[in-house]
Structure 1
Amino acid sequence: MSKSDPFYASAPTGQLTKAILGMLLTYDSPKGRVGGWIVEAEAYMGQQDSAAHAFKGRRTASNEPLYGPPGTVYIYSIHGRYLLDVAAQEQDVPQGILIRAIQPTIGEDIMLTNRDKSGVNLTNGPGKLMEAFGIDDKKMNFEIFGDCQLNIDKQTQKIPAAIEASNRIGVANQGDWATKPLRYFVKGNPYVSGIKKRDVDLENFGWR
């Protein structure tokens, strides 16, 4: 098992968050492989970021994976739903990328049995995609993407026609950093959470 994935320390976290858009996220689940193109992700900037789990150096048993080597799996739960992060930057620099939404391409039938919602509502949010994957525990924490059942395939990537940025979702009360444009998404993709119908690119789904 490799100890890290250097890609996740190869650029600033915001840049990496944009770079993973269009990469293929897969999970080898007990029912079979599921996955899809990443269409939305958020950057969290560690100790300086008032919306981050490691703000002011906070370090607990639950957020310890964030302090791991680049490429570490960090699964956490909020309001009873599980969310998926990848640790960015070198070990002990607790920055991370929250994967917020995917466009399903693999094992959609499996995802539909895990989460009885069809269309974009299957995976257009961070809790929704984890439910669709059937992940409801933190057992893969501290593993490295690509060395466990989870993988972000950097060789299999669709290219967004345009990437847009906005403030992050669900952190409105979290201080000065709440309004920083650290949420990145594929412009026009229908699986982006909260996208308005008039903004959807029905022809190409936002890909080149």
Structure 2
Amino acid sequence: MAHAAGAIGAAPLTGPDLTRFFERDAIAVARDLLGCHLRVGDVGGRITETEAYFPDDAASHAFRGPTPRNGAMFGKPGNVYIYRIYGMHWCVNFVCTTGSAVLIRALEPEAGIATMIDRRNNDALTQLCSGPGKLCQALGIDLSLNDRLLDEPPFSIAPSAPVEIVAGKRIGITKNAEAPWRFGISGSRYLSKPFR
């Protein structure tokens, strides 16, 4: 199924437009983020894979309420929430309504590719951002960028033309693992894992 989130070359979302885009159900936002163009400074690309999380979702960091670690999830729509997994990889999420967020799982590189290759020590284009940890490493995302809005430097996000969407179970979780809240661009080679 296609969605309409704007046009290719659209201006980045800012102010009230950013709020309107993100202040919605996390599943709707996760689907509409596919194809959007994310920039972090001079690097970035087209979002190809996302996962939705809700505050009443046992797999979500917001499930037990606000803490010093997850405070950014309770910020404004369009806020950035960054956390570390396995003690080594950063993950980036975009806040929707309070306590709900979308994990950015994969991206098709478009800008600053040489920088991404250097950061990842890998020149396979399809592997530069094929997972949330790889994506953060390639884009230079770490905890220093936590808890700021997507219209604040170094971030920007611009809407996309419609894309064909596939859905499946989320990856790498044990709680509420059956929820079909992982979304990707159909046929994309730039995914963390293929959709069944």
User: In the TM superposition, what is the alpha-carbon distance from 1:54 to its structure 2 partner?
Assistant: 1.1
Contact 1:50/1:178 (<8 A) preserved: no
CA RMSD of aligned residues (A): 1.8
TM-score, normalised relative to structure 2: 0.86
After superposition, the C-alpha distances for 1:87-106 in whole angstroms (9 at most, x for unaligned) are: 111xxx20000000000011
Map 1:56-205 onto structure 2 (within 5 A).
Answer: 57-79=64-86, 80-89=88-97, 93-117=98-122, 118-135=124-141, 137-154=142-159, 157-160=160-163, 162-171=164-173, 173-174=174-175, 177-195=176-194
> How many angstroms apart in 1 are the aligned matches of 2:156 and 2:101?
16
Higher relative contact order, structure no. (Cα contacts within 8 Å, ≥ 6 residues apart): 2
**Larger Cα Rg: Structure 1 or Structure 2?**
1
> How many angstroms apart in 2 are the aligned matches of 1:103 and 1:65?
26
2:3 alignment partner in structure 1: none
Contact 1:37/1:158 (<8 A) preserved: no
Contact 1:74/1:84 (<8 A) preserved: yes
Unaligned runs of 5+ in 1: 200-208
The structure 1 segments of at least 4 consecutive aligned residues displaced by more than 4 Å after TM superposition are 1-4
- The alignment status of 1:54 with 2:68, answered yes or no, reads no
Unaligned runs of 5+ in 2: 1-13
> How many angstroms apart in 1 are the aligned matches of 2:157 and 2:21?
11
Residues paired across the two proteins, number: 180
> How many angstroms apart in 2 are the aligned matches of 1:86 and 1:194?
21
TM-score, normalised relative to structure 1: 0.82
User: In the TM superposition, what is the alpha-carbon distance from 1:64 to its structure 2 partner?
Assistant: 0.3
User: In the TM superposition, what is the alpha-carbon distance from 1:7 to its structure 2 partner?
Assistant: 1.7
